[in-house]
Amino acid sequence: MTWPRISVVTISYNQGRFLEEAILSVIQQQYPNLEYIVIDGASSDNSVEILKKYSDQLTYWHSQPDSGPAAALNQGFKHASGEILAFLNADDLFLPGTLKRVASLFAANQSADVIYGDGYLTDSNGKLRKPTFSDPWNLQRLAYGSCTIVQPATFFRRDVFQKTGGFNESHKASWDASLWVDLAHAGARFHYEREFLAVFRLHGHSITGSGREDVEELRVMDEIFEKVIGRPKRASDRATSLFLRLVKFLGHPLWSVDYNMFLRSIRNERE
């Protein structure tokens, strides 16, 4: 097959501890038509040294101040020309063979605009890996907080991304969920493939692992709800959300318990 160009954007800020591993997980894919872009937010650790080390294998990189992760992603995708796009945080990883597999999935599913799969959770050491699963796509369930997509295992076509206007730079958390909604409103068709494609790292300094943006995440999810449902949340919507989450939990109780225990252990370590 003719391999379509895949553009991957990595954003980083003081993630030198993990950055090299993330970069290697991309460039060691040996994908024949890769465009790899790294946007660093003027880190004060060893991130720039790592970027210089691999600069000959990066399509573009810079280390400059920015106004947050969503803004950094928009900067990165301005340099992307691939037919298929993805973003990989500096503390996450692609599994070996992911890019070729994703290209094959897009070739086999011509009507799909977004293809996503499952992943593994890992900690700061990267040794412990637990499976984490995406949900079948449902925009309304996402609005109620019961449809999860493993972000680093998600890929989308450039043409539908361009219809969204990019990432919402006012969102300092859940900017990925916000993009999924914008892609859906732009007419994107989602395809869930039950395959492990990436590793999502939880640690004491990550947004999810630290819990430092929990309030912002609730604000963004309320905004997403209003955008999808067409009205602000009511008291009765809390009951609906709890019911949908219970249904999800009953479908795979061990997965949910395992994830919550893993997240709690990460936050307890930080405390």
Are the C-beta atoms of 124 and 204 separated by less than 8 Å? yes
Give the CATH number of domain 6-270; options: 3.40.50.300, 3.40.1210.10, 3.90.550.10, 3.30.70.270. 3.90.550.10
* Inter-residue contact 176 to 70 (CB < 8 Å): no
Question: How high is the pLDDT of residue 247?
Answer: 86
Mean of pLDDT over the chain: 91
Cβ atoms within 10 A of the Cβ of 171, count? 22
* pLDDT surpassing 70 at residue 215: yes
Which tokens hold the place of 254?
């061990």
Q: Read off the pLDDT band of 266 (50, 70, 90).
A: low
Domain ranges of the chain: 6-270
> How do residues 230-265 score in pLDDT, each as one tens digit?
999 999 999 999 999 888 877 776 666 666 676 676
For residue 208, the model assigns a pLDDT of 52
* pTM for this prediction: 0.90
Is residue 1 pLDDT above 50, yes or no?
Answer: yes
Say whether pLDDT at 91 is over 70. yes
- Give the Cα separation of 227 and 143 in Å (integer): 9
For 32-36, 52-56, 128-132, 161-165, which range has the lowest pLDDT when averaged over its residues? Answer: 128-132
For position 262, what pLDDT does the model report?
65
The share of the chain scoring above pLDDT 70, in percent, equals 89
> What is the pLDDT averaged over residues 26-31?
97
Angle (CA) 114-36-10 rounded to 5° is 75
Rounded to 5 degrees, what angle do the CA atoms 22, 123, 260 make?
Answer: 125
What percent of the chain clears pLDDT 90, i.e. is strictly above it? 79
Bridge partners, 11 (sequence order): 39
Supply the pLDDT for residue 263: 64
DSSP assignment letter at 174? -
- pLDDT for res 225: 97
Residue 25: pLDDT band with limits 50, 70, 90? very high
With CA atoms as reference, report the closest residue to 72 among 81, 84, 60. Answer: 60
The set of residues, in sequence order, having a beta carbon less than 8 Å from that of 225 and lying 6+ positions away, is 143, 144, 232, 233, 237
* pLDDT at res. 203: 67
Contact 174, 220 (CB under 8 A): yes
Enter the DSSP assignment of 156.
E
